[in-house]
Amino acid sequence: VGIDALAFSPSGTLAVGRENGAMELWDSKTWHLRCSSPGKNGRSVVSIIWVPGSDTTPERLLSAGLHREITEWDVQTMEPIETATSGGGAIWSLTMSRDNSSLFCACDDGSLRILSLEGGVGSLMY
């Protein structure tokens, strides 16, 4: 299955998003697969972004795609923690604000959706 998105975490883990919606985390030191989540019919991953962690907060992994949702993943189990619908159709790209407090989503309807990440892990709010 084709790869549509890649992103390295600040700690060196490689996240891989596949065209069928599957997600994988690879250890960049050994190139062994750490964990994965199977794809689902009608889902895709076209953009992946890591939110850097700190001494008190873990790194966060977010993905989005043509299925119109942003998903936050548990980086230990690759289970979805939270999802949010874009409200603007398919999502083509994700990027972070400089202070990592907001997520910007480029949507198919030409809009830019902004989500707050200030609530911590599992919090995606418009």
Q: How many CB atoms lie within 10 A of CB 55?
A: 4
Structure tokens, 17: 């998003």
Q: Rounded distance, CA 97 to CA 120, Å?
A: 15
26 within 8 A of 6, measured Cβ to Cβ = no
The pLDDT value given to residue 125 = 81
pTM of the model: 0.91
pLDDT at 120 over 80: no
- Please name the residues in contact with 31: beta carbons below 8 A apart, sequence gap of 6 or more: none
The pLDDT of residue 54:
87
Alpha-carbon distance 1 to 46, whole Å?
A: 13
Q: Is the pLDDT confidence value at 34 over 80? A: yes
